[in-house]
Amino acid sequence: MERHEEERFSEEEGYLGTWSEDGFLLRLFDTGRSSEHGKPRLRYTLVDDRFDSLPLFEGDDFSASPMHAVDSPETVASLLGFLSLKPGDTDADYFAGYSARQRDWLETGRPDELQIIVFDMENPPAELGADAGPAGVDL
């Protein structure tokens, strides 16, 4: 992605940052709203350039854990964990609202690759120390 394109997103209200790895690109925005439980609601867009260049998931329905900042590596890992779920990981009803394109993506093996990335983020190598937090996140 060219720098000027990313700058366009950074000017949007509530922009928190961008995470990318292995063809995946996640943009996070603070909506300025709270969930029914008082947690900040985040807007997000996930693109998988190895699938196509269009946003695969977009929403404003994710709430970060109250234990972590909205722009923290832990929040990124948590959101990616939800977005990488596939049939068998949770109830079938979870996928009822998926588009045909999202269901096609589930068959590519890319959700598995994203789950591995999330695992690595949540389990940094021992030499980084227990307080290092999720690895691979630079928001």
Please check whether residue 118 is in contact with residue 110, taking contact to mean a CB–CB distance below 8 angstroms: no
**31, 12, 28: which is closest to 74 by C-alpha?**
28
7: pLDDT confidence band, cut at 50, 70 and 90?
Answer: low
Instruction: Give 136's DSSP letter.
Output: S
Please check whether residue 9 is in contact with residue 15, taking contact to mean a CB–CB distance below 8 angstroms: yes
pTM of the model: 0.83
pLDDT digits (tens, 9 = 90+) for 82-136: 999 999 999 999 999 999 999 999 999 999 999 999 999 999 887 655 555 554 4
| Distance between CA atoms of residues 137 and 139, nearest Å | 6
**139, 138, 124, 133: which is closest to 74 by C-alpha?**
133
